[in-house]
Amino acid sequence: MIIGDSFTTKEIDEYCINNLSVPGIVLMENAAIKILKHLDLHKNQCFLIIGGRGNNGGDAFALGRHLLAHGEKVEIFLIGGEKGMSEDCSINYNILKNLDVNINLIDNIKDIEDLRNSIKKSNIVVDGIFGTGLTRKVEGIYDDVISVINENSDYTVSIDVPSGLNCNTGEILGNCIIAQKTISLMTYKKGFLNYTTENYTGEIIVENIGVPYNSIKNICKNEFILGEEFVRKNLKIRSKYGHKGNYGRTLIVAGNEGFTGAAYLATEGAVKSGAGLVTLSTHEKIKDILSYKLNEAMIASVENKDEFYRLLINSDSIAIGPGLRNNDDTFELVKEVINKSNCPIVIDADGINCLKNHLYLMKDKKNSIILTPHPGEMSRLTGLSIKEINERRIDIAKDFARKNEVIILLKGYNTVITDGDKTFINSTGNSAMASGGMGDTLTGIIASFLAQGYNPLEAASMGAFLHGYCGDKLSKNMYSINAREVLNIFPCIMKKFQSN
């Protein structure tokens, strides 16, 4: 699913009209037909359509005509007056007038009271007041109308974007429609990814309105919602002749006193997701504890420098950081891994923390690096506040990845995975997974995928999606989930996607 914004929406419209010779009125008609199928005409019979003077209003008026053609009871309102209508909006508005459809104009307080009474008699209100082009604060009669809809509508469907929401940033421009469903046209709008916007969008459905997929993809900014189709397309099929040597050697560098669980979960993450051979290199003082817990992985001492170097140069992927502690010893380990290994590296937790003042190390690397920070760790890396990071997750992650030539997996709801050019936003995962060890598990999974031959962006994206998918499946019957439960079903979930 492609992510777009107001600029790409305008560019796609212009491309269709100028290059493909598809008139805007055809796109508007297609939009109305696509929206119609989400209104459940078997359950709902009374509709209220409210449109503005722009193309969003034109979509709404075209939809009103289709509802009338189906014999539904429809009341139609225009806010802003006829003067200044866009050309395509005017066409659909005039078609309604030619059909002798009564259109209620909203100009004053009495009109707003009429609107309120009509809303109370309707099953669904369709919001077509503002579209993707809104940048100014909602004021005056528009503000009043939005408030009346929010106060009185049982169920509101917004066309493309809830009126009052900046589709680029998710900012609420003074007042905003609170929709139960938003039908986003052509792309998933970037502003929907802001942490506060789902309170306004409700369920989001993306509908294509007859624009070729490749045309949309070429115009948009290489940003995508990560979905099941990505996993089905990229998950490797195992050969019946395959053996452990075919599925890679993964080295996990993790653990310290008091943090054996982090090392255990990262290692098990690699084992359960299919790496051929997994070795945990950890501190000597906790080695015996982990040897007892880990049955399918080998254990080595990080203090044995010769052995550690041999593991570095013979591994197909390395994960470093979980449970190591943020200290000089950990920094030296991270530096050695970056400088001496020849394979892709996943750096997490304390491995990230100790890089705070040493970002230069990543510029001199000879291999791919994936950093997997949560917002707090990203704050330490960038010097930005957690609030700012959460408000601009995509842009900050892309900028950091581009400048430091790494892949960033910025954890949280709608996890961002980017190499600075191509960006995926994960659609899986939920707050039932908010427990210790989840990130350690993900680190091991990504390292395993790297060892199995996935490229770094694929490995990070697949790992994030499948990890979150396990959490979504478990949360249907569980209030909270721990990392071991995710690990237990992970191989089954991989098999499910392979089978499909």
**399 annotated to bind ligand:** no
pLDDT(344) > 90: yes
Q: pLDDT at position 196, please?
A: 85
**187 annotated to bind ligand:** no
Q: Which of 153, 201, 199, 136 is nearest to 49 (CA)?
A: 153
Q: pLDDT at position 55, please?
A: 97
Residue with tokens 């528009």: 142
Spatial separation of the C-alpha atoms in residues 142 and 107, rounded to whole Å: 10
pLDDT(500) > 70: no
**131 annotated to bind ligand:** yes
231-499 CATH fold: UDP-N-acetylmuramoyl-L-alanine:D-glutamate ligase (3.40.1190)
Q: Is the dihedral of CA 272, 276, 281, 285 positive or negative?
A: positive
Q: pLDDT at position 9, please?
A: 96
Domain ranges of the chain: 3-221, 231-499
Spatial separation of the C-alpha atoms in residues 414 and 227, rounded to whole Å: 12
**How crowded is residue 433: how many other Cβ atoms within 10 Å of its Cβ?**
24
Per the prediction, the chain carries an average pLDDT of 96
**57 annotated to bind ligand:** yes
Share of the chain above pLDDT 90, in %: 95
In 52-180, the DSSP E strands lie at: 73-79, 103-106, 124-128, 156-159
Q: Which of 232, 230, 225, 224 is nearest to 494 (CA)?
A: 232
**142 annotated to bind ligand:** yes
Q: pLDDT at position 366, please?
A: 83
**134 annotated to bind ligand:** yes
**323 annotated to bind ligand:** yes
**439 annotated to bind ligand:** yes
Share of the chain above pLDDT 70, in %: 100
Q: pLDDT at position 498, please?
A: 87
**43 annotated to bind ligand:** no
Residue with tokens 């209104």: 39
**412 annotated to bind ligand:** yes
Q: At what angle do helices 55-69 and 24-36 cross, to 10 degrees?
A: 50
Query: What average pLDDT does this structure show over 47-69?
Result: 98
Query: For the segment 236-259, what is each residue's pLDDT rounded down to a tens digit?
Result: 999 999 999 999 999 999 999 999
Q: pLDDT at position 265, please?
A: 99
* Structure tokens given for 81: 């007056």
CATH of region 3-221, choose from 3.40.50.10260, 3.30.1370.60, 1.10.510.10, 3.30.70.260:
3.40.50.10260
Query: What average pLDDT does this structure show over 273-296?
Result: 97
- Position 467: which residue type? H
Query: For the segment 304-339, what is each residue's pLDDT rounded down to a tens digit?
Result: 999 999 999 999 999 999 999 999 999 999 999 999
**348 annotated to bind ligand:** no
Query: For the segment 346-388, what is each residue's pLDDT rounded down to a tens digit?
Result: 999 999 999 999 999 988 788 999 999 999 999 999 999 999 9
**15 annotated to bind ligand:** no
The CA dihedral of 255, 260, 263, 266, to the nearest 10 degrees, is -150
Query: What average pLDDT does this structure show over 467-487?
Result: 98
Q: pLDDT at position 423, please?
A: 98
**133 annotated to bind ligand:** yes
**How crowded is residue 457: how many other Cβ atoms within 10 Å of its Cβ?**
19
Query: For the segment 39-49, what is each residue's pLDDT rounded down to a tens digit?
Result: 999 999 899 99
Within this chain, domains 3-221 and 231-499 share the same CATH topology: no
Q: Contact 244/69 with Cβ under 8 angstroms?
A: no
Q: pLDDT at position 136, please?
A: 95
Spatial separation of the C-alpha atoms in residues 396 and 205, rounded to whole Å: 27
**132 annotated to bind ligand:** yes
**475 annotated to bind ligand:** no
Q: Contact 220/34 with Cβ under 8 angstroms?
A: no
Q: pLDDT at position 391, please?
A: 86
DSSP-derived 3-state class of residue 123: coil
Q: Which of 421, 453, 426, 423 is nearest to 442 (CA)?
A: 426
CB within 8 Å of 160: residues ≥ 6 apart:
56, 59, 131, 132, 167, 182, 183, 184, 185, 189
Q: Contact 410/380 with Cβ under 8 angstroms?
A: no
Spatial separation of the C-alpha atoms in residues 251 and 451, rounded to whole Å: 9
Query: For the segment 160-177, what is each residue's pLDDT rounded down to a tens digit?
Result: 999 999 999 999 999 999
For 452-478, the three-class secondary structure string (H helix, E strand, C coil) is CCCCHHHHHHHHHHHHHHHHHHHHCCC
DSSP 317-345: EEEE-TTS-SSHHHHHHHHHHHHH--S-E
Query: For the segment 114-168, what is each residue's pLDDT rounded down to a tens digit?
Result: 999 999 999 999 999 999 999 999 999 999 999 999 999 999 999 999 999 999 9
Q: Contact 309/318 with Cβ under 8 angstroms?
A: no
Q: Which of 99, 105, 58, 114 is nearest to 81 (CA)?
A: 105
* E strand or H helix at 374: none
Phi, psi at residue 29, to the nearest 5°?
-65, -45
Q: Contact 2/187 with Cβ under 8 angstroms?
A: yes
* Structure tokens given for 335: 């530096």
Q: Contact 362/405 with Cβ under 8 angstroms?
A: yes
**453 annotated to bind ligand:** no
**440 annotated to bind ligand:** yes
Query: What average pLDDT does this structure show over 459-485?
Result: 98
pLDDT(264) > 80: yes
Q: Which of 109, 196, 192 is nearest to 147 (CA)?
A: 109
**413 annotated to bind ligand:** yes
**128 annotated to bind ligand:** no
Q: Can you give the pTM of this predicted structure?
A: 0.92
* E strand or H helix at 249: strand 249-253
**52 annotated to bind ligand:** no
Q: What is the DSSP letter of 193?
A: G
Phi, psi at residue 316, to the nearest 5°?
-95, -15
